[in-house]
């Protein structure tokens, strides 16, 4: 019988999954540190939901077996991917510690999440359509965010962002009229990016 893992809105309670993961890690004498990024972080901030956790972590055969076991127990593994995977490391370097926050600390498991601004940088660098949509969704909820300030903040995090991708995300969040007004007000400042 599978454990109940979702709330009334169908959102997976990953805290319960992490607690079970910690129990199995402890039982097997294994320790694990996760640096979570992507959609799981967006779920924690309330921007979207996800069925998996993309994270940076060091794995071995025992840990992979435990991850599979927990995923099967909760019914959250996919046929071609485990619920907890480090495939994100194929596309991105591990985020520096100063851009991460501790989400959970158990006896044998630490779960860190990157800050949302770092997620924006990762998604803008990837440039995939869904990632630009995700950034637009984040920006919809942050009416104080401004493109040039965000561009500067991302540069400080060592992201090399194409400003057109960032402006595309702002257009998705605020509309073409807002973007037209932004261009008019910031023509001279924008020239250094083009």
> What pTM does this model have?
0.88
Q: In this predicted model, what pLDDT tens digit does every residue of 124-163 receive, in sequence order?
A: 998 899 999 999 999 999 989 999 999 999 999 999 999 9
Q: What is the pLDDT of residue 2?
A: 40
Residue 62 vs residues 20, 21, 25, 66, 169: alpha-carbon distances, Å: 15, 12, 9, 6, 41
Of 147, 151, 93, which is closest to residue 122 (Cα–Cα)? 93
SS3 of 137, please?
Answer: helix
Q: In this predicted model, what pLDDT tens digit does every residue of 27-74 receive, in sequence order?
A: 999 999 999 998 999 999 999 999 999 999 999 999 999 999 999 999
C-alpha span between 127 and 112 (Å, rounded): 24
Contacts of 109 by beta carbon, 8 Å cutoff, 6+ apart: 18, 21, 22, 25, 31, 32, 33, 34
């Amino acid at each position: 019988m599978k454990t109940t893992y979702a709330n009334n809105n169908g959102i997976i309670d990953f805290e319960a999954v992490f607690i079970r993961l910690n129990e199995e890690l402890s039982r097997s004498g294994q320790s694990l540190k996760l640096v979570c990024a992507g959609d799981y972080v967006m779920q924690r901030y309330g921007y979207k939901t996800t069925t998996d956790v993309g994270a940076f972590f060091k794995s071995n055969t025992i840990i992979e077996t435990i991850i599979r076991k927990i995923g099967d127990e909760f019914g959250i593994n996919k046929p071609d991917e485990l619920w907890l995977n480090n495939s994100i490391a194929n596309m991105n370097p591990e985020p520096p510690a100063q851009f991460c926050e501790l989400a959970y600390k158990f006896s044998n498991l630490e779960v860190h999440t990157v800050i949302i601004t770092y997620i924006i940088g990762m998604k803008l660098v990837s440039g995939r359509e869904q990632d630009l949509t995700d950034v637009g969704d984040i920006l919809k909820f942050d009416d104080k965010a401004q493109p040039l300030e965000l561009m500067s903040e991302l540069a400080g995090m060592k992201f090399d962002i194409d400003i057109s991708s960032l402006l595309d995300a702002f257009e998705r969040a605020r509309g073409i009229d807002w973007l037209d007004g932004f261009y008019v007000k910031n023509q001279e400042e924008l020239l250094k990016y083009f």
